[in-house]
Amino acid sequence: MSAILKNESCAMRPMTGVDLGEVMRIELAEYPFPWTERIFADCLRVGYHCWVAEVDGEFAGYGVMSTGAGEAHILNLCIGQTFQGRGLGRALLLHLLDEAQAKGVDTVFLEVRPSNAPALALYDSVGFNCIGTRKDYYPARFGREDATLLALALCPPQ
């Protein structure tokens, strides 16, 4: 799997602690209930697959994924507002899926808000399928919001 952004130089690289300021800048801008810097630091500390997307050298987004026991879980995928709608979310998602496949993962899981139509469309276009609902999973402005649980079966590497 791969994605190419037209007219832009997109690079994926491992996230480091130095990136946490930029990660938090985007996280706080894009999510009404953001992760804390400590959560990202813990993800780095325990060895999750944490990646940064850059466009022409500018910090554009990030993704976090855990793997184990033949499964992967995409925990966070976010693209900064100025880079949305340019295929970068797809590129980062496909990069994470490539990483999962290289680790021998059979199935990738993730949760998404049902109200997040752009994310649902992206995941559907890559082949994720709805396998359930997690009731009251996300904090919401007035109470809680369910999560749609998605899964994607990966083909073994050739």
Give the active site residues: 111, 123
φ, ψ for residue 82, nearest 5 deg = -70, -15
Return d(Cα 62, Cα 41) in angstroms, integer.
13
Q: Which two tokens stand for residue 131?
A: 């396998």
